[in-house]
Structure 1
Amino acid sequence: MYTTRSRARFAAVCATTLCVMGATSLPALASSSFSPAVSTLDRQLLTAAHQGNLWEITTGQQAESAATTACVNRVGADLFRDHNALDAGVVKTAAKVGVTLPSRQTDEQLRQTAALKSLAGTPAYDAAWLKAQYPAHVKTLALIDKEISSGTNPLVKSLAKSARPVVARHIQMVKRGVCHA
C-alpha cells in the first residue's frame, strides 16, 4: 500500500511539474512559431503586388532603352529600381507567411508589355508607356489601401504601409508631376 501511495504522489508531483513547466514555456513557444492567419485579401495583395512588381520591373527597364524622352527614360529607371526593392519585400513577406507567389506576370500584363515593345523608339512609346503606368499604379494603390484598412496579417499590412508612399509617388510621376507626353 505504501508503494501505491508513493507512486500516486510521485505521479501527481510529476503531472503538476509538467503542467507548470509547460505553462511557463508556452508563451515562448507561441511567440516563436505562431504566424497569424493570412486572409484572402492578404493573399490577393501579395499575389497582385508581386505580379505588378514583375511588370513594373520589365516595363521600367524597357523604358530605359525604348523611350524617346529623357523624362520617361528617368522615370522608367526610378520605377525599375523601386519595384525591385518593393518586390524583395513582397517575396520575403510571402515566404514568412506561407504564401506561394506566381512565377510570372498575368497574361494581360504580358500583352501590355508586348504592345509597348512594338512602339519602342517612337514618340508614341512614351505616351503609351505613361498611359499604361497610371491605371496600374492607381489599381495597386487601391488594393494597398484596402489591405491597410481590412487586411488581417500584421506582416502583410506592414508591407502595404511601407509600399504606399512609393506607389503614390509613382502615380504623381506618371500622371501630372514629372512627364507630360
Structure 2
Amino acid sequence: MITRVLALLAATVLAMMSPIMAAVAHAAAPGDQGAQSVSQSDQDVLTTVMQSGMWEIAAGGMARNQASAAAVRTVAATLVTDDTALNQQAAQAAEQLGVQLPGQPDNDQQGWLAQLHDEAGATFDHDYVNLVRQASGKVFTAVAAARAGTKNDLIKQFAQGAVNTVMKHMTVLEGTKLVDSSALSDPALPQTTDQNPAGSQAAQGAGATPTTAPTVQQSTTTTTVVDDRPSPAVVLVGVLLIGALAWGTVMIIRRVVNSA
C-alpha cells in the first residue's frame, strides 16, 4: 500500500515538474539568445556601402597618377583609407548576420571606372570629384535611412559610422571647389565633362558616363523574432514552489502511514 502511494506521488510530482523543466530547457537553448530581425533594407545598406567603397577605392588608386591637382590626390587618399576601414566593418557585420555581399562594384560604378581610366589632368579631376560626390549623396541617403529605421542593433551601429564617414567625404570633396553644385539638384544624373544633353544616345556606348547612381531598394518586410521564454526568476520561483509542494505532500503521507 505504501509503495503504491509513493509511486503515485512520484508520478504526480513529475507531471507537475515537466512544464517547468521544459521552460528551463527552452530558456537555455543555444542559438536563440540575442536573435534579431534582419530586414531586406538592412542587407541592402551593407551591399550599398560595400560596392561604394570598392569603386571609390579603385578610383582613388587612379587619382594617384592621373589627377593633376594636389588637393584631389589628397582627398582621394583620404577616401581610400576611410572606405577600406568601412568595408571591413561591413564585411564583419555581414558575417555575423549571415548576409552575402557582392565581390565587385555594380554596373554603373564599373562604367564610371572605365571612363576615369581613360582620363587625366584637369578632366580627371573634375569628373572624379563630381562622380564621387554625387554618388556619395545617394549612399548618404541610404545609410541615413537605415540608421533611422532599422530594428537591428548591429546595423544601427554600422549605419551610424557610415553616416559620419560619408558626410566627411562629401565635405572634403566640396572643399576642392570642383563640385558642380547645379548638378546636385538632380543626384540621379552625375555630371561630367562629357555629359551629353538629355535624350542623346552617344553616352550609352561603352565607357560612357552612366546616368544612374547606386540605389537601395527599401523593403518594409521584416522577420520578427518573438522571445516567449520565461525569465530565469520566474523559472526559479516555479521550481521552488513545486519542490515545496512535493515535500509537503510527502510529509502528510508519512504522518498518515505512521498513524495507521
What's the TM-score once normalised by structure 2's chain length? 0.61
Match of 2:223 in 1: none
Conservation of the 8 A alpha-carbon contact between 1:89 and 1:159: yes
TM-superposed CA distance for 1:154, in Å, is 1.5
Match of 2:172 in 1: 173
The residue type equivalent to 1:67 in the other structure is A
Aligned-pair distance for 1:35?
A: 2.6
Residue number in structure 2 paired with 1:72: 72
Partner of 2:147: 148
Distance 1:20 1:53, change over 3 A: same
CA contact (8 A) 1:54 1:104 kept: yes
**Would the alpha carbon gap of residues 106 and 26 (structure 1) be closer, same or farther in structure 2, given more than 3 Å must change?**
same
- Higher helix proportion (structure 1 or 2): 1
Secondary structure of the structure 2 residue equivalent to 1:102: coil
Alignment correspondent of 2:43: 43
Which shifted more, 88-97 or 9-18? 9-18
Deviates further, 60-69 or 142-151:
60-69
Runs of 4+ in 1 over 6 A off after TM superposition: 1-4
| Rg (Cα) greater in structure | 2
How many residues end up aligned between the 2 structures? 178
* Matches of 2:8 and 2:44, distance apart in 1: 56
In structure 1, distance between residues paired with 2:112 and 2:4: 80
Distance in 2 (CA, whole Å) between partners of 1:42 and 1:22 is: 34
Q: 1:6 to 1:99 in 2, by over 3 A?
A: farther
> Aligned in 2, Cα 1:67/1:12: closer, same or farther, shift over 3 Å?
farther
- Conserved in 2, the CA contact under 8 Å of 1:35 and 1:97? no
Distance 1:15 1:135 in 2: 67
**Cα offset, 1:34, TM superposition:** 3.6
- Could you tell which deviates more after superposition, 154-163 or 31-40? 31-40
User: Is 1:105 aligned with 2:102?
Assistant: no
- Percent pairwise identity: 27
Find the aligned partners of 1:100 and 1:69 in 2 and give their Cα distance.
Answer: 38
TM-score by structure 1 length?
0.86
Change (3 A) 1:23 1:130: same
- The question of whether the paired residues in 2 share the 8 Å contact of 1:62 and 1:76 is answered with no
The match for 1:118 is: 118
